[in-house]
Structure 1
Amino acid sequence: MISNADEFKYYSESKNEIENAKINEVATEEVWLEVISRHPELSRLVVANGSISTDVLEKLSLSDDVDVRWDVAMKRRINRSTFERLATDKSVMVRHRIACNPKTPKDLLTLLATDEDDMIAEAAKKRL
């Protein structure tokens, strides 16, 4: 179990494969929030960890980093408010990822089907 943000950072930078693999271990929500706060450059690694909660994913969906929001948009277990936020994201890449997410609610797909970007609209229409 990852016990703090510095430990996660250490594992993420380790050249040792066994240590580096520890970034996939479980941590408490408090630890994940500490990592995001103290080491925002590691946010994409946090998103990739399968043990993070929907609350942590929601926090990450507020990131200024479009790549982090795109990573969150790929997740199937995000909550309704996160789907809603990302369906109206300023980034075409993020909205497209939400349009392609198999768990996106139908009403949000209907909204995305009218997106000004043709690629997003078509992706949403295919899923309706």
Structure 2
Amino acid sequence: MINSAEEFIELRDSDTPAKYNRAGKDDAPVSVWWDLIEKYPHMRVWVARNRNIPKEIIHHLSKDDDPIVRDAICSKYPLDIELYLLFSKDSDEGVRARLTFNKGLPMDILKDISENDSSEFVRSQAVDNYKRREY
């Protein structure tokens, strides 16, 4: 368990793999995640990459201004359906393309992206992933 924002940063910045890895998988109280987001905004992407952040943090970071943070969140699964829909219309094509690899993405949303996304690159990623998941 991570008990403070400062402990998370220490773990994340560590050269020791066991410590560094804890930043990506250990639980923390929701107050620690909020402290990190509010006091250490450069750590948002690392918060987003933690496997055990609570839903309220996932929802908050899904609307982050930084597409790298949104990319990290859209890679998580399972996500709530409203987040799959939100990310499928994200302003950043990299986020939309990353979403097509999310194995929890409902097939109907993946199909819609493959047919209707404004980016040829995203559509091609969606088509490839749709075909891969059909079999």
Q: 1:1-128 to 2 correspondence within 5 Å?
A: 1-23=1-23, 24-113=25-114, 114-126=116-128, 127=130
Unaligned runs of 5+ residues in structure 2 are: none
Q: CA RMSD in A?
A: 1.9
TM-score, normalization: structure 1?
Answer: 0.85
Q: Cα 1:104–1:21, aligned 2, differ >3 Å: closer, same or farther? A: closer
- If the length of structure 2 is used for normalisation, what is the TM-score? 0.81
C-alpha deviations, 1:5-44, integer Å up to 9, x for none?
Answer: 1221232233455543432321022221221121121122
- Tell me the amino acid that sits aligned with residue 14 of structure 1: S
Given residue 37 of structure 2, which amino acid in structure 1 is its aligned partner? I
Residues 8 and 106 (structure 1 numbering): CA distance in 2 closer, same or farther, change over 3 Å? Answer: same
Q: Among all aligned residue pairs of Structure 1 and Structure 2, give the percentage whose two residues are the same amino acid.
A: 24
Give the aligned length.
Answer: 128
Task: Name structure 1 gaps, 5 residues minimum.
Answer: none
1:58/1:79 contact within 8 Å kept: no
Q: How many Å separate the matches in 1 of 2:107 and 2:22?
A: 37
Secondary structure at 2:90 match in 1 = coil
